[in-house]
Amino acid sequence: MSGRHFLQIPGPTNVPDRVLRAIAQPTIDHRGPAFASMAREALDRLRRLFRTKSSVVMYPASGSGGWEAAFVNTLSAGDTVLVPETGHFAVQWRCVAERLGLRVDIVEGDWRRGADVAAVAQRIRDDRGHRIKAVAVVHNETSNGATSDIVEIRRSLDDASHPALLFVDAVSSLGCMPYEHDAWGVDVAICASQKGLMLPPGLGLLAVSERAIAAGASAGLPRAYWDWRPMIAGNQHGMFPTTPATNLMFGLVEALRMLEEEGLPNVFARHQRLGEATRRAVAAWGLDLVCADRKAYSSSVTAVMMPGGHDADDFRQTTLEAFNMSLGAGLGQLKGTTFRIGHIGDFNELMLAGTLSGIEMGLSLAGVPFARGGVTAALDYLAGTAEVGSSAV
């Protein structure tokens, strides 16, 4: 099809031309001085993005590798991890823990809101014997567009003087919405290259607190590839224990420069604005959001419920065939009944206008009942001409 494909899934996201050009440089010696200085720049900039003075590590991996790295570097078989069930990715993370021989306590959820902080706090208070060794929370649930309040989860640990480590999945929040590794007292944050960092998939990125590193001294799970100790030691000189993803790192440096040039507060405000415009379109169409808690609305992804009797994957197929646009599939128990709109990474007002137009035309073509006017509602908001006091659903 002529024209550009619209990649509106919530990751992998659109890769800016500047980043693509950086990746296209000739590969260099990963033990040479040019690589070392590039790696040090990448790590320094990543520390600024995670907002940490502690260590950042990076593996040629996807986000799931980061999940595993967090566990094997800090915990022992039989340790208990508390996981709030925010949606599909929390459940996947739980599966990784169980396969590694960890025990998982779930704080149940209905996949329509962020972590139930009161329930987490109760479990923490009840755990007087400190059986729970880590709390693992997904900051932005990409499957339903609901965020969790990491500050409140940290508070529940502090209020109970509970020593559990705090792990945060920042895969679809880092570079899209505020994230404060040190100020929030997070021990391990996990991210991946293919979302807010505007890169192709292939880099797993972790911020690691001193406490997490110290926990590694007594951690008993087997670790080889994921062992972050040789990585942290080598990184001081811009070196890696195994072959790093050199060309993705060229792209990473460029992407981090772009985020700093725009200014992180502006990047976050842009995501917030485009998320709000998307939700206004959904409301005007008369469709429901999966996220049922407005305080938890995500700036990077919006998940939408299909009207009963209409298959979300058929609708997505229609937008792909008719308009060359990919929308995100419903995942896990949301498969077939929901679709997701990614407004994340290298994205702006006119790209959103095109995305929402494709959805509105696609709903018509697929015979889905909806009210017209979603695109107009979003454009009015973006142009600053929306009625004062009107807001998303």
CB of 33 to ligand PLP, least distance (A): 31
Q: How far is the CB of 143 from ligand PLP (least distance, A)?
A: 7
Length of the chain: 393
Q: Which residues bind ligand PLP (CB under 6 A)?
A: 11, 62-64, 89, 138, 142, 169, 171-172, 192
Shortest approach of ligand PLP to residue 174 CB, angstroms?
Answer: 10
The nearest distance, CB 31 to ligand PLP, in angstroms, is 27
- Beta strand residue intervals within the chain, DSSP E: 6-8, 55-60, 80-84, 103-107, 132-138, 140-141, 146-147, 165-169, 188-192, 203-208, 301-305, 325-329, 338-342
Closest to ligand PLP by CB, 142 vs 299, is 142
CB-nearer residue toward ligand PLP: 36 or 96: 96
Quote the radius of gyration of the chain (alpha carbons, Å): 21
Rounded Cα–Cα distance for residues 120 and 130 (Å): 14
Angle between helices 246-262 and 264-285 (to 10 degrees): 80
Nearest approach in angstroms of CB 141 to ligand PLP is 6
- Distance in angstroms (rounded) separating the CA atoms of residues 345 and 271: 8
Query: Between 303 and 306, whose beta carbon lies closer to ligand PLP?
Result: 303
Single-letter amino acid, residue 385: T
Nearer to ligand PLP, 62 or 317 (CB): 62
Q: What is the smallest separation between the CB atom of 199 and ligand PLP, expressed in angstroms?
A: 11
| Structure-token pair, residue 75 | 């915990």
Q: Which is nearer to ligand PLP, 207 or 368 (CB)?
A: 207
- Which residue is closest to ligand PLP by CB? 63
300: closest CA among 181, 151, 194, 180?
194
Closest to ligand PLP by CB, 38 or 83: 83
